[in-house]
Amino acid sequence: MTFHLGEEAIGGLAAGIIGTLLGFPLDLVKTRMQTQLLSVSSSATKQFSTIPLLLHILRTEGISSVYKGVGPPLISLSIVNTLSFTSYSYFRQNHFHGQDGWDINNAFSGMMGAPIFGIVTTPENFLKTQMQVDNVQSRREKLSGSKSHTNHQSSGQRQSQIQQRSTGRFTSSLHCAKSLVSSHGLPVLYTGHAINTVREAAFVGAYFFCYEGYKGEFQSMIQRLENIMLCRSDSASQADFVATSLAIPMAGGCAGATAWAFTFPLDCVRAGVQGQLIPLSPTFKLQKVGALETLNNLLKSKGITGLYSGVSPSIARAFLVSGSRFSAYEGALWLCRQSGLTSQR
């Protein structure tokens, strides 16, 4: 197997676009549950499970809110997927010599690109998180500023006003970036860079390690089933092709779910750091809440379970996205080779 940059770039681009568009609505739900900013009323976010929470957002904020902030991840994840698949393939073949199956060298191969991934994904995650909680942050600011004028109103009237104020501070991801940078400078985009890079390294290591392991397990299982059901009526090459075709999305989905479950506490802390309210006032001295402080606050307020707020939509999203991502990646490579668009491996 030779290394071909063009194939990896096309495969990574396909994986990034398809995975992002399919998984973004569940990512929104996950972020709202992590930051506990569903509303400013007495109702707690944890009272909503995944589907009711998504329906609540659609009902009170509109369908456009489901993809609010999708621009930055759509761009950055296309870049990151190109980098991650390319670097993994390169380091696995040329340095760590990872083998099929459960080989720890596959994890090391995946982790090599994490410092670069962090540089790309930190601004994307920051802007995405700010946009995903923007509607709620805006309502929080408005209600906090007008608290003295609403004390005489009933709770029903206040809740009605909350639900009507669905417009946030930012009209787009670009507007969000410009507003925050003009108020606090370019470094504000790298809020939470350290915790995000650590999370990236842990995730991609577990991701590729589990993918290769699960793929081997599923291939063996499917081939055994074929042997029993078909009694080897197909040729061995046809059986291997079918087993591989089915094993790729299954292994990708399980690898994504496993990697997210493993690294979710890190992502919960990251979301808390990057989802904090940042005022749009140049005169306001910004005092960011760090990862350790966020972790301590979560443990004090909700205990260890606070590190798994939003884990259900995250794992569901990971299975859907990762399964489709690896299928898109392998499918794009196959099309490149069959069409002659790139050189054959």
- pLDDT exceeds 70 at position 232: no
Max distance between CA atoms of the chain, in angstroms, equals 79
Q: What is the mean pLDDT of residues 268-294?
A: 83
What's the pLDDT band for 158 if we cut at 50, 70, 90? very low
Q: What is the DSSP string of 213-229?
A: HHHHHHHHHHHHHHHHH
Tokens 């906090």 belong to residue: 144
What amino acid occupies position 238?
Answer: Q
Q: Give the highest mean pLDDT range of 66-75, 99-108, 334-343.
A: 99-108
* Percent of all residues in the chain with a pLDDT value above 70, rounded to a whole number: 76
- pLDDT exceeds 90 at position 146: no
Q: For the packed helices 114-132 and 173-184, what is the interaxial angle rounded to 10 degrees?
A: 100
Q: For the packed helices 291-302 and 236-274, what is the interaxial angle rounded to 10 degrees?
A: 90
Between CA 150 and CA 163 the distance in angstroms is 15
How high is the pLDDT of residue 297?
86
Between CA 37 and CA 61 the distance in angstroms is 14
What's the pLDDT band for 342 if we cut at 50, 70, 90? low
Query: For 4-36, what is each residue's pLDDT tens digit?
Result: 666 666 766 777 788 778 878 878 887 777 775
What SS3 state is found at 262? helix
CA distances from 31 to 129, 148, 176 (A): 7, 30, 17
- pLDDT exceeds 70 at position 150: no
Q: Give the highest mean pLDDT range of 24-38, 57-71, 121-135, 196-210.
A: 196-210
Query: For 48-66, what is each residue's pLDDT tens digit?
Result: 677 888 888 888 888 878 8
What SS3 state is found at 99? coil
How high is the pLDDT of residue 135?
66
Q: Which two tokens stand for residue 183?
A: 């108020």
**Greater pLDDT, 133 or 235:** 133
What's the pLDDT band for 168 if we cut at 50, 70, 90? confident
How high is the pLDDT of residue 207?
93
Between CA 49 and CA 57 the distance in angstroms is 12
Burial of 148 (0-12, 13-18, 19+ CB in 10 A): exposed
Q: What is the DSSP string of 161-198?
A: HHHH----S-SSHHHHHHHHHHHH-GGGGGTTHHHHHH
Between CA 150 and CA 157 the distance in angstroms is 9
- pLDDT exceeds 70 at position 195: yes
**Which residues, in sequence order, are CB contacts of 79 under 8 Å at separation 6+?**
16, 120
Question: What is the value of pTM for the model shown?
Answer: 0.72
How high is the pLDDT of residue 194?
94
Are 239 and 223 contacting, i.e. CB atoms less than 8 angstroms apart?
yes
- pLDDT exceeds 50 at position 149: no
How high is the pLDDT of residue 73?
76
